[in-house]
C-alpha cells in the first residue's frame, strides 16, 4: 500500500475505534501506532507533506464529529498526536501547513512547531497579545501561553531576541471561572512565573547575555542491557552501591547513573574526566515528596551530599517507615549504548525501538519540564539521562539525572503519573 494511504488507513481505524463501544474496539491500537511511526522514517519529502495534509484534514473532520457525538468522545488528539510525531521525524512535512495549524486554533502538542520557519514565527507573533494586569505582569491566558511555547520550539535567533526583550515580564496565572466552578477550592488561587521560563518547555533557556543555551545533548542513545561476553566493560551502570548513606534517612545510596567517561561512546555528553557517579536514595529520591536532590560530584567518581538540600522535608519524614515490606531495593544493571540517534526531538516519540532508559536527547517528562536550578550559579542544569524507576527497584515513573557543568553539582528529579 502507498505509505500515505497507509497513514490514512491507520487514522481511519483509530477514529472508528474511538467512536465504537468499548467492547467492539480492536485490540491492535498500539501496534498500529508503532507501524505508523515506523512509516514516518521511510517517507519521501512529498509523501511526508501529503501525510501531514491527511492528518490536518482528519483533525478538522474529528472536530466536526466531536460536535455531533452524543457520547462526548474526544477525537481531536487522534489526528494531532500523529501530526506532532510526523513533524518530529520529517520536519519538511509541515511545509506550508503551519499557518493552517495556527488558524485552526490547535493549542497543544507544541513540538509540532520544531521546524517552524520565519513565516510561521511571524504568524505566531502577530497573534500574540499581551494583557498587562499591572506593569510588567502579563495575564497567562491559555492561547498566549501556548503561543509563547510554540515560539520557544521554533527557537531561532529572532525568537531568542524576542524572549530577551521580554526578560522583565512575569506571567500571572489564575483559574478560569469554568475551573473554579468544577473545583471551588481554586477560587482566589494564583501563581506567577518569569515569562522567559517558557523556553524550558522546549529544552533551552536564555543566558544573562541574551543567548540561547540548550539544556540537552543533540545526540542520544537508548541504554541496552550489557551482554556478558563482549570482552570490554560496559560504559554505563545503574543501581551500583556507592558506600554512602543518605544524610536525611540513613539509607544506602546507589548510583542512579555511573558513567565510564573514558568510553568514546560517551563523548557526546561533553563531560571530560574518568568517571561520573550521581547518587540517589531509594526513599528520598523517589517517594519522599521532596524536590530535586543535589550532590557535589567530580569526574573521578566521587560524590558528596550538598548542603543546598537543607533539612529533611517534614512530608518525607512523616511517611517514612523502614519496616514497610514494599520499600524498593536497588537492582544493579550494566548497560551498553544503543545506536546513535542524531535528532534530539525523536527521543519524545515512542517508536519501535523506544527505550525509557537513555542518555542524551530531550527528557521524556512525565509531568512537566523540571530542569533543576543550580543552587550556586542559578542556571538550569543540563539533562544527562533518564532511568525507568520500575526496572531498577525504585518507584513508578522516571528519574532524571542533570548536571551543572560550571559548579560541578548534579541533581536527580523523579516524576510519575
What helix, strand, coil percent values describe the chain, rounded to 5? 40, 25, 40
Q: The cell 542559578 sits on which residue?
A: 378
For residues 126 and 321, the model is more confident at: 126
Q: Which residues contact 4 (CB under 8 A, 6 or more apart)?
A: 43, 47, 50, 51, 54
Q: How large is the average pLDDT for residues 337-343?
A: 89
Q: How large is the average pLDDT for residues 105-118?
A: 84
Q: Cβ distance 360 to 339 under 8 Å?
A: no
Q: How large is the average pLDDT for residues 293-322?
A: 89
Nearest to 226 by CA among 114, 113, 338, 350: 338
Q: Cβ distance 236 to 208 under 8 Å?
A: no
Highest mean pLDDT among 83-87, 177-181, 248-252, 404-408: 404-408
Output the average pLDDT for the chain.
87
3-state helix/strand/coil string of 386-399: EEEHHHHCCCCCEE
Q: How far apart are CA 158 and CA 252, in angstroms?
A: 49
Q: How large is the average pLDDT for residues 404-408?
A: 95
Lowest mean pLDDT among 163-172, 222-231, 252-261: 222-231
The long-range contacts involving 328-331, CB below 8 angstroms and separated by at least 24 positions, are 328/282, 328/286, 328/393, 328/394, 328/395, 329/282, 329/393, 330/239, 330/241, 330/252, 330/254, 330/282, 330/392, 330/393, 331/239, 331/391, 331/392, 331/393
Q: How large is the average pLDDT for residues 180-197?
A: 85
Chain centroid to Cα 370, Å, comes to 9
pTM, rounded to two decimals: 0.88
Q: How far apart are CA 374 and CA 85, in angstroms?
A: 32
Determine the pLDDT at residue 324: 66
Determine the pLDDT at residue 229: 47
Indicate whether 58 pLDDT > 80.
yes
Cβ neighbour number for residue 285 with a 10 Å cutoff: 26
> Where are the extended beta strands (E) located within 203-290?
204-206, 212-214, 217-225, 236-238, 240-245, 252-260, 275-281
Q: Given phi > 0 = left and psi -120 to 50 = alpha, else beta, which region is 247? A: alpha
Determine the pLDDT at residue 175: 80
Where do runs of H (alpha helix) occur along 155-188? Answer: 157-165, 177-182
Q: How large is the average pLDDT for residues 342-349?
A: 86
Q: Compute the half-sphere exposure of residue 58: CA atoms within 13 Å on the CB side of its CA.
A: 26
Report the percentage of the chain scoring pLDDT > 70: 93
For residues 166 and 328, the model is more confident at: 166
Beta bridge partners of 212: 206
Q: Cβ distance 361 to 217 under 8 Å?
A: yes
pLDDT tens figures, 231-284: 567 999 999 999 999 999 898 999 999 999 999 999 999 999 999 999 998 888
Dihedral angle sign, alpha carbons of residues 382, 387, 392, 393: positive
Determine the pLDDT at residue 120: 92
Confidence of residue 15 (pLDDT cuts 50, 70, 90): confident
Indicate whether 35 pLDDT > 60.
yes
Determine the pLDDT at residue 37: 87
Q: The cell 561476553 sits on which residue?
A: 229
Amino acid at each position: 500500500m502507498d505509505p500515505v494511504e497507509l497513514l490514512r488507513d491507520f487514522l481511519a481505524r483509530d477514529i472508528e475505534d474511538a467512536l465504537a463501544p468499548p467492547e467492539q474496539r480492536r485490540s491492535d491500537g498500539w501496534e498500529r501506532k508503532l507501524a505508523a511511526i515506523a512509516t514516518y522514517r521511510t517517507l519521501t519529502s512529498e509523501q511526508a507533506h501529503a501525510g501531514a495534509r491527511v492528518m490536518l484534514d482528519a483533525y478538522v473532520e474529528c472536530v466536526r464529529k466531536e460536535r455531533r457525538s452524543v457520547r462526548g468522545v474526544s477525537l481531536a488528539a487522534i489526528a494531532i498526536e500523529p501530526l506532532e510525531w510526523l513533524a518530529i521525524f520529517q520536519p519538511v512535512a509541515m511545509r506550508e501547513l503551519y499557518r493552517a495549524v495556527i488558524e485552526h486554533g490547535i493549542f497543544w502538542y507544541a513540538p509540532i512547531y520544531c521546524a517552524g520557519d520565519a513565516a510561521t514565527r511571524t504568524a505566531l507573533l502577530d497573534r500574540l497579545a499581551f494583557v498587562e494586569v499591572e506593569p510588567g505582569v502579563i495575564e497567562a491566558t491559555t492561547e498566549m501561553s501556548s503561543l509563547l511555547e510554540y515560539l520557544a520550539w521554533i527557537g531561532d535567533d529572532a525568537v531568542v531576541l524576542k524572549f530577551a526583550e521580554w526578560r522583565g515580564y512575569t506571567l500571572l496565572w489564575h483559574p478560569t471561572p469554568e475551573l473554579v466552578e468544577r473545583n471551588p477550592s481554586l477560587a482566589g488561587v494564583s501563581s506567577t512565573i518569569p515569562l522567559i521560563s517558557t523556553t524550558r518547555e522546549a529544552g533551552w533557556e536564555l543566558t544573562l547575555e541574551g543567548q540561547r543555551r540548550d539544556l540537552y545533548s543533540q545526540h542520544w542513545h537508548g541504554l541496552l542491557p550489557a551482554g556478558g561476553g563482549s570482552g570490554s566493560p560496559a560504559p554505563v551502570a545503574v543501581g551500583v552501591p556507592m558506600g554512602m548513606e543518605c544524610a536525611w534517612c540513613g539509607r544506602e545510596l546507589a548510583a542512579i547513573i555511573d558513567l565510564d567517561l573514558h568510553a568514546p561512546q560517551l563523548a557526546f555528553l561533553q563531560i571530560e574526566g574518568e568517571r561520573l557517579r550521581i547518587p540517589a536514595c531509594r526513599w528520598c529520591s523517589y517517594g519522599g515528596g521532596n524536590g530535586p536532590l543535589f550532590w557535589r560530584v567530580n569526574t573521578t567518581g566521587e560524590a558528596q551530599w550538598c548542603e543546598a538540600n537543607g533539612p529533611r522535608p517534614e512530608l518525607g519524614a512523616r511517611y517514612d517507615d523502614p519496616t514497610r515490606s514494599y520499600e524498593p531495593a536497588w537492582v544493579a544493571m550494566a548497560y551498553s549504548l544503543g545506536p546513535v540517534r542524531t535528532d534530539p526531538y525523536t527521543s519524545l516519540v515512542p517508536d519501535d525501538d523506544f527505550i525509557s532508559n537513555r542518555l542524551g536527547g530531550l527528557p521524556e517528562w512525565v509531568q512537566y519540564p523540571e530542569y533543576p536550578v543550580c543552587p550556586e550559579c542559578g542556571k538550569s542544569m543540563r539533562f544527562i539521562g533518564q532511568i525507568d524507576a520500575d526496572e531498577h527497584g525504585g518507584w513508578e515513573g522516571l528519574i532524571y539525572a542533570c548536571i551543572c557543568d560550571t559548579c560541578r553539582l548534579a541533581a536527580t528529579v523523579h516524576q510519575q503519573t
